[in-house]
Amino acid sequence: MEKRRLGRTDLFVSKICLGTMTWGEQNSEAEGHAQMDRAFARGVNFLDTAELYPIPPRPETQGATERIIGSWMKARGNRDRVIVATKVVGRTANDWFRGGRPSRLVRADIEDAVNKSLARLSTDYIDLYQIHWPDRAVATFGANPTRLTRMPERHADETPIEETLSVFADLVKAGKIRHLGLSNESAWGVMRFLCGAERGVGPRAVSLQNAYNLVNRTFEVNLAELCAREEVSLLAYSPLAQGYLTGKYDDGALPAGSRKALFDRLQRYEKPGAAEAIRAYNALARSFGLTPAVFANAFVCSRPFVTANIIGATSLAQLEEALSAADVAWSEEMQTAVDALHQKVGNPCP
């Protein structure tokens, strides 16, 4: 599988990254291990997780995903061949991460998070340590709205980006992490982190993990140019729009065992106009002789500004389908058809 440089680092990651957020909730440890075995046999060398996982976040299961990855690397003895990315939560009122108090992107909380992640992962270092979402208030989760109805009020105790950066500098110096990554960030936020690094406050952010898929191409508006010029890698999450771009929810269908049926947490992809746009993309996929899931993943993999496409699966069959997208020759005809449809429907699911 093709490997692509991560930012300006000396790391080369597979163009498909294995997402893990179902392990410990919808998937068992054995199933997680089987997925990693299959993905790595196909050339994947990149895993993405978070202290938050599995999803949905619950105190009873928090951290289980990292433990499953840790037990797999220990059993396989392959830590030196795996690029591990995990995340520290941003500001949250959920108190189970820090032993009974809310969490912010301040020194005590970041150090607590990284030490716990290292222990769960059974490793001495984390290749890519990402800030899951900002400490500051933003207009919407993901920080790329298609419209702004009001400016969010600032938290009175907002943590300055420079303060957070300085903690990451010490984590790099201590050898606990190799590189800093961002997630769910805006163009302003990314540039503030980069400017802080240029002033010597902390490490340079090498990646940005934001949503990117057929029904949410907001990354292209400002962030694509920023990341290309600054050599910040896009790690695209939600390529299947939380399952909607597989076709399984078309026309109101609700398959048993699906994330929608189990948790009903898919509102990001249920906005006005979303259902019509999703059906149209799924039909377009079939017109090219591909399943909607393969088509949607192949689109993300084909974009020149995407370093890695973060896939997810709850079964080996789903995993194989996602991995097969890496072999699709994305054509100019496909792109022209996708762009023509996007011109009509825009970004209904930011």
Q: Which residues are catalytic?
A: 53
Dist. CA 310–CA 295, nearest whole Å = 15
Dist. CA 251–CA 280, nearest whole Å = 12
